[in-house]
Amino acid sequence: MYPRSNTNKKNYKRLTVITISVLFAIFVGIGILLTTMAPHTLLASGSSSSLGIDNIKCEVIEHLNFHIHAHLDIFINGKPYIVPSQIGIIPNKCLYWMHTHDDTGVIHIESPENRNFTLGQFFDIWNEKFNNTQIFDNIVSNSKNNTLSVYVNGNKASSVDYRDIKLNSHDEIAIVYGKPPDTIPSSYHFPKGL
C-alpha cells in the first residue's frame, strides 16, 4: 500500500465538509418549509384533538371505522332551505366526524368509533340554533303558521326532543317550519358508494 498523498487528504476533507454542509442546509430548509408553508398542518395534527364539539373531534384525517351517511332536508314556510357545503370542515386544518362536502344535504359521519350521532350535534357543529321550538331565527308560536316538525323517513317524530334524533345510515330527515311543502320526503337517492 502506498501512503495517501496530501492532495488526496485535502480532497477527502473538502468533500466531507461539503457533504455535511449540504446535508445541514437540506435539514434547515425542510424545517423552514414545514414551519412557514404548512403551520396549519402542524397545528392540526398536534392539537386537533382539542377542537371538539359535543365530544365530536375535528381531525386532519377522515376515519372509516364507522362510516355512514344521512340526508337532511329543511323547509321554511314551504320553501327548501339549502344545507350548505363545508359544514364541519375547517379548510386546511381539520374536519369534524360529522360534516358536509357539498350542498346536497348529505351528512357524512366518519368516526373512529361506532356510536350514535344526533341531529342536535350536527346543528351544534353547524353553529346554528335548533330545538323543538326554534330553527335558525324562526321561533314556534301558538299560531298555526309558526309550527316546527321533524320527519324521519317520512314519519313524523312526536314526543321526542328533536335534538336527540339519531342519524342512522341512509336516513332521510326533513325539518319543516311553518307551511309544509307539498310533499314530505320519505327517502333520498344516495349516490353510488354513499
Kindly report, residue by residue over 49-75, the tens digit of the pLDDT: 457 999 999 999 989 999 999 999 999
Domain match, 84 and 118 both: yes
Cα separation of the two ends of the chain: 73
Nearest to 118 by CA among 82, 79, 171: 171
Residue 66: what are its φ and ψ, rounded to 5°?
-130, 110
What is the per-residue pLDDT for 93?
95
Domain match, 104 and 141 both: yes
Domain range for 23 is 1-37
Domain match, 83 and 56 both: yes
Q: How many domains does the chain have?
A: 2
What is the per-residue pLDDT for 39?
34
Does residue 76 contact residue 160 with C-beta atoms inside 8 Å? no
List CB contacts of 72: < 8 A, sequence separation 6 or more.
83, 105, 107, 119, 122, 173, 174, 175
Indicate whether 42 belongs to any domain: no
Domain match, 84 and 122 both: yes
Instruction: State the pTM of this model.
Output: 0.74
Domain match, 9 and 89 both: no
